[in-house]
Amino acid sequence: MRPLGRKLLALGVGGGAALGLLIRLTPNGEAWLVALLAVSAALVALAQQTLP
Amino acid sequence: MHAAHQRNQAGTSWIAKAVVFALAATLASVLAGWVLGFAGEAISFNARVAVASLLAVIAIGIGALELGPRPPRLLQWDGETPQRWMNAGALRWASLNGAALGIGATSRIGFWLWYAIPCSAFLLGDPLLGALLYGIYGCVRGWSVWAFLLLPRRLGIGGDAFGVWLVTHGEWSRLVAATQLLAMGIAVAIAIGL
């Protein structure tokens, strides 16, 4: 795996774990989950602008 | 005769086409999300949690593989929207194209992360949340066309050069989307699955 891939893997694992705990342990966890999904939706829409 | 006349695209301002395109993308995605959320409502909560947990594990695996040297092949309809829509008239083309891209499923998807949108809209089991989630996707995809129309002018570069710049950064987009997919899979697994 390339060094950048390793860094992004660590970022994804760490960030995902932190977000998962935030969703699970906070009273408004569902709102955090919806926010995470909303960010994913916006991100993929932007990423698709780079498609040929 | 000019190609634009042949394809019935001339005589309509780019602003009108861009507005119709963006509105169609937003409306189609909101409707798609509402339908998926409504359909998901019919499934029991426990079944939705079980499926979401399984999909979270799959997302973790695919996200991790995508960050490696050999990303898994994406399941998609690898093509553009039909060219024949160009003959239907400028505003009709803009609305059809906008609706198709706002939903996203019938043309090139490009990223595994896309699958999170319909799956989430369905598994949330709430038409309003489904419409909100899918609507955000369609809204961003539809209205970002303004960036393509206005940014090159603002930056003083040609539209073609801007398009080429975007396409050459496709690998970056793939890595960012893969990281988000991985993080989302882990977050969902911890939040509802483990």
pLDDT, tens digit (0-9, with 9 covering 90-100), for B91-114: 999 999 999 999 999 999 999 999
Question: Residues 1 to 52 of A: which have CB under 8 A from any B CB?
Answer: 1-2, 4-6, 8-9, 11-13, 15-17, 19-21, 23-24, 29, 33-34, 36-52
CA distance B163 to B118: 28
State the DSSP code for A3. H
pLDDT band at B1 (very low <50, low <70, confident <90, very high): very low
Among residues B123, B83, B122, the alpha carbon closest in space to that of B100 is found at: B83
pTM: 0.92
Reported as type and span, the H/E element at residue B125 is none
- The answer to whether A51 contacts B110, with C-beta atoms less than 8 Å apart, is yes
- Please give the mean pLDDT across all residues of chain A: 94
Q: Which of A5, A19, A52 sits opposite B167 (nearest CB)?
A: A52
Distance from CA of A26 to the nearest CA of B (A): 10
Residue A26: its chain B contacts at CB < 8 A?
Answer: none
Q: What is the number of CB-based contacts under 8 A between chain A and chain B?
A: 152
Residue B114: its chain A contacts at CB < 8 A?
Answer: 44, 48
Nearest CA in chain B to A4: B67
Does the structure show a pLDDT above 90 at B149? Answer: no
Interface confidence, given as ipTM, is 0.96
Distance from CA of A10 to the nearest CA of B (A): 9
- The answer to whether B190 contacts A43, with C-beta atoms less than 8 Å apart, is no
Rounded mean pLDDT, B113-141: 98
- Cβ B95 vs Cβ B20: under 8 Å: yes
Tokens for B105, please give them. 């499923």
Q: Is A42 exposed, middle or buried (0-12, 13-18, 19+ CB in 10 A)?
A: middle
Does the structure show a pLDDT above 80 at B56? Answer: yes
